[in-house]
Structure 1
C-alpha cells in the first residue's frame, strides 16, 4: 500500500486490471477518496493503491505495487489470503474486519476497519478484490477511555452496594447482640444475688424458684438472639466468599437465594417493607454465585430506592423455579409505584436514573443486565406499569457458559498486524 499521486493509473505488467478504463473522472475519485483504497489480485498482489491509503498507513507505492502481501506485510498475509480466497470462492464481500498494528513510520498502535469487495470483469469473472480501509484509531482510544471510566464507575457502584449491605448487616447484628448482652448482664446480677443469699444461708425456696424461671427465660432469649446473629454472620460470610466473579462452583440456588435474602432483609431497618422468598428445592447450579448475588442485591436496592417513594410500605417477592431447556427462572417483583413507558425503555441503560439529585448513578440495573447476559449467560425481561408495580424475570442456564473476558464479551473478528 503506497504513496504516489499518479498511482491510480498504474497497473502491474502481469495483470491487465484497470479499475475504471476510459473513465478518468472515476479514476480521479478513486485516487482522491477520503478513505484508503487498494486493489489486490487473486494471488494477493497489490495492483493499485490510492493516495489516502499511503497517508493513513505510512507506506509507499514503490515498496508495495506489484508485490505480494506476503512479501510486504508477512504478519497480515495469512489473514488476507484467507479473505481473498473466500471472496474468490463465494463471490460475497467481507466487511467490518478490524486491523490492529503499527504504521511503518510510527511506533504507536493504530487501528483500521476494512471492507473487501470483489471486482468483476464485464463477463462477471472476479478479476481482483477491492479493499477499503478507514482509520479508527482515535475512536478506539476514545472507546477504551470510556470503557475504563465506565468500568471504574461500575466497580465503585458494586462497592457502594456492598457497603450498604454491610451497613445493614452490622445494624441488624447489633440488635440480637445488644439484647443478648442486656440479658446476660441481668442474669449475672441474679446469679450474684442468689450466691450471696446461699453463702449467708438465707436462700428461700421462692427465691430459688424465681431464679430458675428467670434463668430459663434468659437462656431461651440468649439462644434465640445468638442464633439470629449467627445466621446473619453466616449469610454475610457466604456473600463475601462468593463475591468474586471468577469463583465458579456448584451450589443449590434456593439455599443461596435464602442466604442472600437474610442479608438483604437486614438492610430494611425500620422501613415498612416485606421481602418474601419462595424457592423450589434441589435446583443445582454450576455457575457464578457472586455475580448472581450482585444481581439480586442490585434489584433489591433499586426496588427499595425507587418503587416505594416517600416511605411508602410494600412487598418485594423473589420466586425461584425450574424452567425449560435446563434453565431456572427467578422472578423479582414488587407492588410499588411502577415505571412509565419512557423509564421502562431506558431502565437498563448505563447512567440513566430518575433520582440523580439524590446521588444515584444510574448503574444499578445496568449492572444487573451486564451480569445476567454476559457472565451468567441468561436473559431478562422487564414488565412494569405506573401504579402496578414492577416484575423482572431472569432466565439463567443451570450450567453457565465459560467466561470470555473481564466484561464477558466476545471481541469482534479482527486482524492483528503486529509482527
Structure 2
C-alpha cells in the first residue's frame, strides 16, 4: 500500500472520530497498515516521563501505562523537536528501555507532538521486532498524522480550559485555603510535574500523611495501588473527570476514594496541574458490597424456590393430567353401565319371547308325535310365532340402536381424531347414552339442533356435552325437583353456538368466578371431584379451538360454547 493510499485509508477510518476514540482508532489503523509490532501515543510530563493515551500491539501487550523517556530515543525526539528514526539495533543502543526489552525491539520511529505555542506535549511512536525501512514518503506521512494528533490535543486542552478556568489566582489562594480547611472533603493540588503542592486538613486526617510528608510527592506514589495505570492515563488527558479508586493510607490500610478531578490553567492557557476534591466512601462501598451479597443470596434463594416451584408445578400438572384421564375413564365407565342397564329391557323381552316360543314349539312337536294336532292348534301356534318374531325383532332392533350409539360414542370419547360429522346426530347419540342414567329423575332433556356439518373432534365435544349435562343433573336441581336441561344450536356462518341451559337453582356466587378452575366444586369432598368444568374449559379452548361463557342466576344456568365449524389441526391429536 502506497503512502498516499495509506493516508486516504487512515482519513476514511478516523475522519468522524474525536478525542480518545480518535487516538485509539489512529494507532490501530496505523499499526495494521504499516504491519509493525507496536504503535503508541503518549502525553509528555515534566519529569521526562510520559503517560499512555492510546496503544496498539500486534501480540501480547506490555503493561506500560507510564514510561521513562530518559532511557529511550523518544527523549531525543522531544528535546530536538524532530523525528527520531532507528532502522535497526535499537535494543542494543537502549538496553534499559522497558518497552524495547518487552518487545525485543529492533527498529523505532518517533514523532514529537507540539502545541500551538511550540511546546512538546506528546509523542507518536512505533516499534518493530525486525529491521524497519521507512521511505521518505512514509516518514512524511507519519509527520502529517502527528499534525492531526497535535490539533486534537490542542482542542482537548482548549475545551478543558473553557470548562474549568484557573482556580489558583494568587489573590484567591488564601480564600481557597480558608474554604478548603473548613470542608470535610479531602482536597489537594498537583502541579504539571505531578507533584503535590497543597493539601487541606481533611487530606491529612483521611490519609494519615502529614502536610510535610505529602508536599513534593507524586499522588500516585502516596495513595494509589493497582488503580495507578488507569488513573494516570485519565490524568494525562488534562480534562476534568470523576473517579472512584481503591487507595491506601500511610499505615497501609485501604480506603475507597471518590474524587472530582479538574485541570488548572493560567490566563495564557498554560497547563498548571489539577485540583482533586474527594471523600472517603469506604463505608458506603462496604454497605454496597453487603447489599450486593444479600442480593446475590436472595437471587440464589429465588432461583432455588423457582426451581422447586417449577418442579411442583410439573408434578401438579402430571397429577392433573392423570386426574383428567381418570375422570374421562370414569365417564366412559358410567356410559357402559348406563348402556348395560338400558340393554337389559329389550334383551330381557327378547329372551322371554324366545323362551315362550320354545315352549310352544315343544307343545307342537308333542301334538304331532301323538297325532293330536288340530287345525286350530296349528293356527294358534302360527299366530304366537308371528307375534313372538315381531316382539323379538323390535327388541333386537332397539338393542342394535343402543349398541350402535354406544360404539360411536365410545370410539369418539377414546379418540381425538378430527373428522367430519353431523352435529345433530352426534348430540342425539350423546343424549341417548345419557337418558338411561336419568330416566327415573323428573328431568327432561331437550335438543334443538338443525342439520349441520362440522369438521372437528366429536370425542372431546361429546365429553364436553356429557360433563355439562351431568353437571346440571348433579348440582342444578334439588332432590325430586322437576326441571329441564335444554341444548340449542345456532349456525353462525364459520362458527356455531351451542347453549346448554337448565332452569335449576344456579351456581353458588362464591365459586361462580372460579368454576373453570381445577378442584372447584360446591360438593368438593362430598362426591364432587371439582374437575368436570375444568375438563370442559380445557377441551373447548384447547382441542376444539373455541370459547365458553357462563351466566347463572337463581332461575338457572347457561353455558354458551362458540366453536369453529372447522377445528384447528393439532398434531398431537391427529396422528
TM tier relative to shorter chain: 0.5 to 0.7
Are the aligned partners of 1:276 and 1:318 in contact in 2 as well (CA < 8 Å)? yes
Q: 1:194 to 1:249 in 2, by over 3 A?
A: same
The alignment status of 1:298 with 2:467, answered yes or no, reads yes
The alignment status of 1:222 with 2:392, answered yes or no, reads yes
Q: Tell me the SS of whatever aligns to 1:376.
A: coil
The alignment status of 1:206 with 2:376, answered yes or no, reads yes
- Aligned position for 1:364: 532
The alignment status of 1:280 with 2:450, answered yes or no, reads yes
Q: 1:212 to 1:308 in 2, by over 3 A?
A: farther
Q: Tell me the SS of whatever aligns to 2:420.
A: strand
- Partner Cα separation in structure 1 for residue 294 and residue 436 of structure 2: 60
For 1:125-164, what aligned pairs fall within 5 Å after superposition? Answer: 136-164=306-334
Cα shift readout 1:80-125 (whole Å, capped 9, x = no counterpart): xxxxxxxxxxxxxxxxxxxxxxxxxxxxxxx97xxxxxxxxxxxxx
- Partner Cα separation in structure 2 for residue 239 and residue 26 of structure 1: 72
Shift, 1:278, TM fit:
2.4
- Partner Cα separation in structure 1 for residue 419 and residue 436 of structure 2: 26
The alignment status of 1:166 with 2:425, answered yes or no, reads no
- Partner Cα separation in structure 1 for residue 349 and residue 293 of structure 2: 76
For 1:19-418, what aligned pairs fall within 5 Å after superposition? Answer: 32-33=291-292, 51=296, 56=300, 136-281=306-451, 283-324=452-493, 326-386=494-554, 388-403=555-570
Shift, 1:203, TM fit:
2.9
> Where in structure 2 are there 5+ consecutive unaligned residues?
1-226, 232-240, 245-257, 260-278
Q: 1:366 to 1:202 in 2, by over 3 A?
A: same
Aligned-residue CA RMSD in angstroms? 3.4
- Partner Cα separation in structure 2 for residue 152 and residue 196 of structure 1: 63
Shift, 1:33, TM fit:
4.8
Shift, 1:243, TM fit:
2.1
- The answer to which structure has the higher helix fraction is 2
Shift, 1:355, TM fit:
1.6
Q: 1:34 to 1:211 in 2, by over 3 A?
A: farther
Shift, 1:269, TM fit:
4.3
Q: How many residues align?
A: 301
Shift, 1:342, TM fit:
2.6
Are the aligned partners of 1:32 and 1:52 in contact in 2 as well (CA < 8 Å)? no
Q: Which gives a bigger RCO, structure 1 or 2 (Cα 8 Å, sep 6+)?
A: 1
Q: Tell me the SS of whatever aligns to 2:371.
A: coil
Shift, 1:303, TM fit:
1.4
Q: 1:369 to 1:196 in 2, by over 3 A?
A: same
Q: 1:34 to 1:138 in 2, by over 3 A?
A: farther
Q: 1:358 to 1:135 in 2, by over 3 A?
A: closer
Are the aligned partners of 1:187 and 1:215 in contact in 2 as well (CA < 8 Å)? yes
Q: 1:188 to 1:329 in 2, by over 3 A?
A: same
- Partner Cα separation in structure 2 for residue 238 and residue 35 of structure 1: 63
- Partner Cα separation in structure 1 for residue 542 and residue 529 of structure 2: 21
Q: Tell me the SS of whatever aligns to 2:550.
A: strand
Shift, 1:35, TM fit:
9.1
Shift, 1:265, TM fit:
1.4
- Partner Cα separation in structure 1 for residue 325 and residue 343 of structure 2: 27
Cα shift readout 1:46-67 (whole Å, capped 9, x = no counterpart): xxxxx569x849xxxxxxxxxx
User: Once superposed, which parts of structure 1, at least 4 consecutive aligned residues long, lie more than 4 Å away?
Assistant: 21-31, 33-36
Q: Tell me the SS of whatever aligns to 1:136.
A: helix
Shift, 1:358, TM fit:
2.8
- Partner Cα separation in structure 2 for residue 176 and residue 322 of structure 1: 37
Q: 1:184 to 1:322 in 2, by over 3 A?
A: same
Are the aligned partners of 2:416 and 2:458 in contact in 1 as well (CA < 8 Å)? no
Q: Tell me the SS of whatever aligns to 1:358.
A: coil
Are the aligned partners of 1:168 and 1:268 in contact in 2 as well (CA < 8 Å)? no
